[in-house]
Amino acid sequence: MEEKELESLVTQQVRSALGSNQKLGPYNVLGILTHMGQGLEDLFEALIRLAQKNMNILIWTKKEVNEALELTSRASSIPTMDIIVNSTGDFCLSFYNDLESIMYGAFSFEIANKVTLLEDSNSTVNLLLQGLLSKIPVYIVTPFPPTDLTFDYGPSGMLTNELSKRLSFLIEMGFRLVNVEDLADQFVKHTPAVPNLITEDYLEGLKGKKHEIFVPHSTIITPLAQERANTLDIKIIKI
């Protein structure tokens, strides 16, 4: 198959996975999400803040993620974020030339083992290894401090020790092990946090700078602030 034909086929696959209303790259960040409870939510929030900073985010997640429907719904309201659910991740490789970083949320002993043994038959493992080979910073985002690899991973102390060894080896390979909170600080520290209460004064500070802001569902918007937003042509989108 010719290179252009292959590229066209990949493009069709991506458009099919994303839907006709979504963009088709280039993307700054590829986020690979698997289920890890609160850690998944924390990483997703960090990616949202990056998207608010006008970075193009592509999220790839597997079908077994329970939060897939909710994530898709929230991502669809953010112009600079796309999400692919229940699809092979191989076509994500077509965007690697533009990526600034890859962020992988959660890490299991199985995946750690496959990565350290260079078994790239698994889609997730392949994306991680290809990122490393492409010299793209690959962040393994964990819910535990990266300086403490003796966390309680399960009832078996041996499992904990083995996973710790795998994670240590990943660092030696060039992967960047980082706590999700540190990741947020590192990548979005220059992005002002949206306050829990939106007031007229806050919107006045955005005059002429923004035409839309994304806020959590729990954010309180005063009636006067909403009127001021309409006057300034600033759209407040709850996600």
Helix (H, G, I), strand (E, B) or coil at 212: strand
Mean per-residue pLDDT, 72-81: 74
Instruction: Give me Rg for the CA atoms of the chain.
Output: 20
Assess whether pLDDT exceeds 50 at residue 192: no
Distance CA 238, CA 204 (A): 19
Whether residue 138 is found in the same domain as residue 72: yes
The range of the structural domain enclosing residue 210 comes to: 197-238
Whether residue 179 is found in the same domain as residue 207: no
Whether residue 79 is found in the same domain as residue 184: yes
Between 17 and 116, the higher pLDDT residue:
116
CA dist 235 → 172, 218, 226 (Å): 46, 17, 9
Whether residue 161 is found in the same domain as residue 66: yes
Whether residue 105 is found in the same domain as residue 220: no
Note whether residue 52 is domain-resident: yes
CATH classification at residue 105:
3.40.50.1950
Between 158 and 63, the higher pLDDT residue:
63
Confidence at residue 105, expressed as pLDDT on a 0 to 100 scale:
78
> pTM (2 decimals)?
0.63
Whether residue 179 is found in the same domain as residue 201: no
Question: Which 8-state DSSP code applies to residue 138?
Answer: E
In the structure encoding, which two tokens stand for residue 119, read together? 């078994």
Note whether residue 14 is domain-resident: no
Note whether residue 163 is domain-resident: yes
